[in-house]
Structure formats: C-alpha cells, structure tokens
C-alpha cells in the first residue's frame, strides 16, 4: 500500500473495520466505535496507535481467553458459577461451553466438558489431537481427566483453583507420566479480570444466603 495513497488507506481501514466488527465480542460486546477510539494519533504520517491496532496485535492467548471469558459471562447471567471454555483447533474455535450444572441439574455439566463435547462433535472424532483448551478457571479433576481422554494438546487456564484444581493446584493429572497421554498445562492471561468476576459472583451469592 502506497503511503500517500488515500484510497489504499481507506480500503485498508474498511478491512480492519470488518475484522473488528466480527470479533468485538472479545471486548465484552463493546460498540465498535468505542474500540476504535484512538489512544495516540501521530500528527504526521500514516502511523497511529489505537485500540483497533492493539486488538489486531493481540496474542492468540489473549484472543481465545477473552472468548472463554465471554462464555463465563453467559454462565453468570444464567446464575451459574462463571466459568467458560473454548476449544481451539488449527487456529479457530471448534467448541464452546460454560457452566450449566444448575440449569441442567447435572454435576458433570462443566464448561470444559461441554466445550470438549462440542469440539468432538464438530470434528466427528473423540480424539482432539492438536487442540487446545482455553478455560477461565483451572480444570477440576473430572475435567482434567476428560482433557487427557480427549487427547488434547494443551490446557491454558487463567486462574488457579486451590480448592478443586486438578492440573497444578491439588493434582497434576494432565502431565502425569503414568498415563498413556499427557497434556501440556500453563497459566494464561486475564487472571485479574476473571478473579474479579468470580469474587463478584460469590459475594452476591453470600449476600442472598444471609
């Protein structure tokens, strides 16, 4: 694109606008106009730094964890513990889920289980080799085991769970050398945002009970 060509610049911005419109849910459904608010426009030349530019530079971890956060917010709206998850394969989301234990009256209806089930249905294969699970809270023992059974490649969680965590906090099921498959585990971004969401939920829950 020529630096001084306004038509080329306009066409480029239109493409960026379409991308922002397509993935604005990652910013909690904020209006596109808000996303496009400039932080520092340069007075000379084509360069500028805006939220739009920052968004396009966002890492995969941030992008997919924000999608998991969107799922967690859905759980919150439904009165569920706000945990959300997405399964990513070859750079795209193939399964989504959020906690539905109260809605379905099912103790196994965790966000990870629902997302893994959706991903397996999408691929028509229970083996999710090469897939990654992004989840807002460290998976429990059940979900950690399901990740191994599904042959996931990696689990990325935002917030550790010292009471129920089956990946690093209480147990290390996905990386247990005694199992016939091991899943990499690491902590990802957005821990502060998700911790605030969890605290808000349990504060409201305690207030209702008191």
Alpha carbon distance, N-terminus to C-terminus of the chain: 63
Nearest to 74 by CA among 107, 108, 99: 99
Partners of residue 135 on adjacent β-strands: 85, 157
- Report CA-CA distances (Å) from 30 to 4, 24, 33, 97, 175: 32, 6, 8, 21, 38
Tokens of 55: 């968004």
User: Which of 78, 112, 153, 192 is the catalytic position?
Assistant: 112
Q: How far apart are CA 97 and CA 135, in angstroms?
A: 9
Active site residue 102: no
Q: How far apart are CA 132 and CA 110, in angstroms?
A: 17
Q: Which residues form the catalytic set?
A: 112
């Amino acid at each position: 694109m020529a630096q001084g060509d306004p038509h080329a610049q306009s066409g480029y911005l239109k493409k960026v606008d379409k991308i922002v419109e397509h993935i604005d849910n990652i910013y909690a459904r904020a209006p596109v106009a808000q996303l496009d608010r400039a932080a520092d426009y340069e007075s000379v030349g084509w360069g500028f730094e805006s939220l739009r530019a920052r968004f396009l530079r966002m890492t995969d971890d941030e992008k997919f964890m924000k999608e998991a956060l969107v799922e967690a917010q859905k759980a919150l709206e439904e009165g569920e513990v706000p945990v959300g998850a997405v399964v990513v394969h070859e750079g795209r989301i193939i399964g989504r889920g959020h906690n539905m234990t109260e809605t379905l009256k099912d103790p196994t209806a965790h966000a990870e289980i629902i997302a893994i089930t959706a991903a397996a249905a999408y691929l028509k294969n229970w083996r999710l080799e090469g897939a990654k699970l992004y989840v807002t809270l460290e998976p429990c023992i059940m979900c950690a085991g399901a990740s191994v059974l599904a042959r996931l490649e990696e689990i990325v969680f935002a917030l550790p769970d010292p009471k129920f965590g089956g990946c690093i906090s209480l147990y290390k099921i996905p990386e247990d050398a005694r199992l016939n498959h091991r899943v990499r585990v690491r902590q990802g971004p957005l821990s502060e945002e998700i911790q605030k969401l969890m605290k808000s939920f349990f504060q409201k829950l305690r207030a209702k009970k008191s």
